[in-house]
């Protein structure tokens, strides 16, 4: 997809990164889809942040 283009398929890149310390977890999620001229654009992007209190 990145080197040869999408070639008419419904290609996408999905990723999720999560970090936690046993009590609280933070995460980042993104879905990238092909756009014009071989570019990638965000279809979805989510950030989960949980700050400790106390």
pLDDT per residue as tens digits for the range 4-43: 665 666 688 999 999 988 778 899 999 999 988 888 999 9
**DSSP state letters, 26-49:** EEEEEEEEE-GGG-EEEEEEEEE-
Give the global pTM.
0.69
Count: domains in the chain? 1
CB atoms within 10 A of CB 34: 20
Task: Provide the 8-state DSSP code for 5.
Answer: -
What pLDDT sits at residue 4?
61
Which domain does 25 fall in, by range?
1-54
How far is residue 28's CA from residue 41's CA, in Å, rounded to a whole number?
16
């Amino acid at each position: 997809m990145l080197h040869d283009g999408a070639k008419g398929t419904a290609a996408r890149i999905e990723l999720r990164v999560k970090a936690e310390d046993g009590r609280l977890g933070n995460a980042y999620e993104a879905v990238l889809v092909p756009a014009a001229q071989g570019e990638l654009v965000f279809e979805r992007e989510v950030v989960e942040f949980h700050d400790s209190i106390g």
